[in-house]
Amino acid sequence: MLRLVGFTELPGKGSHTNWIHPLYAGKITLSGKDGTDAKPYQEKEVRQAIEAIKGKKQDE
């Protein structure tokens, strides 16, 4: 889902993955391996980040 809206995965250690986007200040950290269910607070963070990016794209 994050890749579809332009996020890029940063390399890291362990089971956590970090994601960045040029229009999003900060990064998103998700625990677990790719394809596992995200925790509710992580889902909320992803939704908020996507909405923030959509808002910035509309402002351009």
Query: In this structure, is residue 48 part of a structural domain?
Result: yes
Predicted pLDDT at 13: 78
Q: Could you report the per-residue pLDDT of 6-40, keeping only the tens digit for each? A: 999 998 778 889 999 999 999 999 988 777 788 89
pTM for this entry: 0.81
The distance of Cα 19 from the centroid of its chain, to the nearest Å, equals 5
Query: In this structure, is residue 45 part of a structural domain?
Result: yes
Domain range enclosing 33: 3-55
Backbone CA torsion sign across 30, 32, 13, 2 = negative
Predicted pLDDT at 48: 95
Query: In this structure, is residue 60 part of a structural domain?
Result: no
How does DSSP assign 20-32, residue by residue? Answer: EETTEEEEEEE-S
CATH code, 38: 3.30.920
Structural domains counted in the chain: 1
Q: How far apart are CA 50 and CA 28, in angstroms?
A: 11
Q: How far apart are CA 35 and CA 22, in angstroms?
A: 24
- Quick check: 59 pLDDT over 80? no
